[in-house]
Structure 1
Amino acid sequence: MKATVTIREYARLTTAEVEPTLDVAQLSQSAFDWLCELSASFSRNGATLLQVDGRHALKWDSYVGVVETPCGTRLEILPKHHEQGDCLLKSRQLLRKLIQQALQLKPRDASVASLELFDAPLSEWVMGQFLTELDLLVKRGVRFDYQRIEEEQRFLRGQLNVVAQMRQPPGRQHHFQIRHDVFLPDRAENRLLKLALELVAKSTQDAANWRLANELRAMLAEVPASRQVNQDLRAWSRDRLMAHYQAIKPWCELILNQQMPIAVSGEWRGMSLLFPMEKLFECYVEGWLRQRLLPGANLTSQASQHHLCAHDSGKMFCLKPDLLIDTPEQRWILDTKWKRIDSGKPEKNYDLSQIDFYQLFAYGHKYRDKGVPQLVLIYPYWSGLRTALPVFDFGEDMRLWVLPFDLDADCLVDAEKATLPLNLASFARAS
């Protein structure tokens, strides 16, 4: 039986015996050592997964999701967002919602009630969604395709391979070299689904998921598992006859670790789904804004039109704001930041980062295609940031607003103060 450890961002992991909470947890020595090796591989790629805190402790960074160690320990990391108690259920629901938006997934839940009752780790939720989609696909019918077979038989079937037949040695001329087509489910899409299904059947700890996975394995017994994942993914067909396969493809890619913002590298392939929380927050805010833009407004993510400076007939340091909103008359530059600031600490600059302000100041001076742009920094809503901060004036009519985004209420609080081109009647303001 695999051990599951649930923590949240910035939690402390140790091999010493401790009272487990979402902010501190005990790991086995083998899991601890493997995480140290994993952190070293992340560091070589320029990312920070863990910080070493002494010889027997680690501090997790701002990645969320699930990572499974070779010794069988499954580590679930949740967002550090809710304040009252551990809020395990709310944190899991929030993480699922953010991942759905980031990867444009469409979960197939029977009802809101069933979603609320499904208090399972992220990995079980992903596997459950995949199995539900696969069950529906099998009921609608698995797509077959013709496969050309060349073989030797004692009878004629299909076409005679004349060249191969003429090369038959004496004494074997009574055997026929033939070609024929067989109608089989052995095609790229089905091979990928079979491989994902095998991984789910081996990884799941949920009884319902395990039962459904084994039922589907019996139904797909004649389909071989993929041995060349990247090649089969490139061969995934998008024609109209394969339209019913499109809903399951993102879940299949998710399980096969092909669509991860951060993929765990190496030979070990456990159930590992890690996401940088900063990126999830940015993707969620972007999706929310796109749904509420007024007609005529255009949103661009990760614009890279300008550089900080010119040098030796070239350009250096590309400036890439998270979000750019344009109307014929005005431009808004928005950046999202996954960290808490406190409106009750004006003497400490509200815990704002001076670097963030320098960054927006540079954006504002370079992205002046339509005159002076308006600047917006978006932070998560919490008890210390319930409303917009007083406006920050950079001079020359360039101003910056700091707005809270309420993830529970799906609301950008005080968006009207920044005069953003949004349909304000389409959402309720957070309390």
Structure 2
Amino acid sequence: MEKILEVKEYDQITCNERYRNSSKYKFLEKKFYQELRAYIENVTRNSDSYVNQAFGKKFSGSREEEGKPFMLIHQESGVGEVIEARNFVGLIQLESGMKIQILPKIEFGTGADETREVLLKMLKEMKNFSGWKLSAAKLASGSTNLYDIFIDMYLQEAKLLVKRGLRSDYEKVEGNLKSYKGKLLVSRQLRENLVHQERFYVRYQKFTRNRAENRLIKTTLLRLKKAASREKQIQEIRNLLPVFEEIPVSSNIRNDFEKVRADQNSREYEQIIQWSKVFLEDESFACFSGNEKARSLLFPMEELYENYVACRLKKHRENTWKVFPQDGGHTLFDSPKRFQIRPDIVLRREDKCVILDTKWKLLEDNQWNNYGIKSADMYQMYAYSKRYKAQDIWLLYPMTEWMKKQEKIVYDSGVEDAGFPTRVHIFGVDVADINGSLDKLLTAIEAEKGA
């Protein structure tokens, strides 16, 4: 039976037997707890940061979670030491085979299965995930972990590639041949064939499957063969490997990724190479680390949420605005130009501008406490408004039941403020019904004065 502990963001894990059946803490057997603790410490020693690289670069924003580890070890009064999950979702697989699966703190739809399904839809919209087919059948069982699903999707793509046929390329080869071909290497010819003048030491081009993309895929398959926990996956990998028999493994993974071509002849490799980057730990868009037996594949939830809203907004059929995610066109000061500001999403149409900013946080039903909205967030929105000359700012929080009954939450700075008013609108996004939410959002934006 698969050993798996399912937790949510910010859940706390303990090995204290008194909390085995606790609703507040997640219990993990002591031997697995110690193993998890050792893994966290090992990653901490070997990593200088825990940053998202979802868009091909290290996250360099000013968010409060930047630089924090994916899990914290600390003391909890009356409980003892606990391990606290942070804002990352995904899976940690320990050397013993024990898996810690971390799901979003906000449940989508009717339960854990639907939450997993929505989470994978969000992952699908990531730059390196787009185009991957997510099978609902793979999400039917609560015991199915994310890492297995990712392996399944990789193997699915590998099988499609093999069916279409691996691409070949010309490779430079040197050899001492009985017949002349290519270019004679004079110095080697004199050294090797002074006596055997019937031979030719030459350099020539050979049409072969030994190209960077195929080496990377073979290397990934061999790594997944060791990592896979299901016999069906291992067998599928065994069935694929004979196709790559004459292709060597990658001796320099980073160098091979740099050799990957982006042209019409290699377009079918695009998705599988992006996934190979994940599994081979090279420029991964997640915090993926570990040795052959212990590893983690984790994604920062704030980035997933922001990217999902932006991507779906771009694709929305009713959207007449141009969408600019992570727009970096302004600084807070002009002289000198310092302190760059970067809204999550900027909408533009003709001379109109609207700012959208996503916040992965559940608001509380308490207007006297400003619904739990942070003052710093409002200061930030005000700066966006003035520098972008945008009257309307929309803070997009995950939808809650009480927000569904709320008509409007708007903070208005007043018409005399710096030449135009700043209106900050609070809007709930139902991630499980993203298209319906975007319909309502765009309708609300259009209804505002000046939009």
Shorter-chain TM range is 0.7 to 0.9
Aligned partner of 1:426 in structure 2 is: none
Kept after mapping to 2: 8 A contact 1:7/1:22: no
Structure 2 spans left out of the alignment, 5+ residues: 51-66, 416-420
Q: TM-score, normalised by structure 1?
A: 0.85
CA distance in 2, matches of 1:268, 1:257: 11
Name the count of aligned residue pairs.
412
- SS of the residue corresponding to residue 114 of structure 2 reads helix
CA distance in 2, matches of 1:266, 1:295: 43
Take 1:376 and 1:99, find their aligned partners in 2: how far apart are those partners?
24
- In the alignment, the residues of structure 1 paired with residue 230 and residue 446 of structure 2 have an alpha-carbon distance, to the nearest angstrom, of 45
Q: Distance in 2 between matches of 1:285 and 1:377?
A: 12
Displacement of 1:196 after TM fit?
1.1
The yes-or-no answer on 1:324 pairing with 2:342 is no
Q: 1:358 aligns with which of 346, 354, 379?
A: 379
**Residue 162 and residue 364 in structure 1: after superposition, are their counterparts in 2 closer, same or farther (change >3 A)?**
closer
Partner of 2:413: 394
Select the residue among 232, 239, 244 that pairs with 2:268. Answer: 244
Asked whether 1:75 is paired with 2:100, we answer yes
Corresponding position of 1:7: 7
**Per-residue deviation, 1:393:** 1.1
Amino acid aligned to 1:53: H
One of 185, 193, 200 as aligned partner of 2:217: 193
139-148 or 260-269, which moves further after superposition?
260-269
CA shift at 1:272, angstroms?
2.6
- Quick check: 1:253 aligned with 2:272? no
Question: What is the CA deviation profile of residues 379-421 of structure 1, one whole-angstrom value per residue up to 9, with x for unaligned ones?
Answer: 0112243245422111123211111110111132742564249
Once the two structures are overlaid, the 10-residue window that deviates more, 288-297 or 95-104, is 288-297
Q: Cα distance, 1:179 vs. partner?
A: 4.2
Q: CA deviation at 1:263?
A: 2.9
Q: Give 2:395's aligned residue.
A: 377
Q: Please, which moves more after superposition, 51-60 or 209-218?
A: 51-60
Percent identity over the alignment? Answer: 25
Q: Which has the higher contact order (CA 8 A, sep 6+)?
A: 2
Structure 2 distance, partners of 1:168, 1:38, is 51
Give the distance between the partners of 1:56 and 1:77, measured in 2 at CA.
19
Residue type of the partner of 2:387?
Answer: K
1:273 positional shift: 1.8
Q: More deviation in 394-403 or 287-296?
A: 287-296
Following the alignment from structure 1 to structure 2, what is the Cα–Cα distance between the partners of residues 305 and 182? 49
Residue 179 of structure 2 corresponds to 156
Say if 2:133 and 2:153, in contact at 8 Å, map to a contact too.
yes
Counterpart check, 1:35 vs 2:40? yes
TM-score scaled by structure 2?
0.81
Q: Give the structure 1 partner of residue 61 of structure 2.
A: none
Could you say what secondary structure the match of 1:299 adopts?
strand
RMSD: 3.1
Matches within 5 A, 1:14-413: 14-17=14-17, 18-19=20-21, 24-26=26-28, 27-39=32-44, 44=49, 46-54=67-75, 56-70=81-95, 72-82=97-107, 87-103=111-127, 104-108=129-133, 112=136, 114-117=137-140, 120-153=144-177, 155-156=178-179, 158=181, 161=184, 163=186, 164-168=188-192, 171-173=195-197, 176-258=200-282, 260-264=284-288, 270-292=294-316, 297-309=321-333, 313-342=335-364, 344-368=365-389, 372-386=390-404, 387=406, 389-396=408-415, 397-410=421-434, 411-412=436-437
**1:339-385 Cα deviation digits (max 9, x unpaired):** 1002x3223221221211111111112211xxx42010000112243
**Cα distance, 1:8 vs structure 2:** 1.4
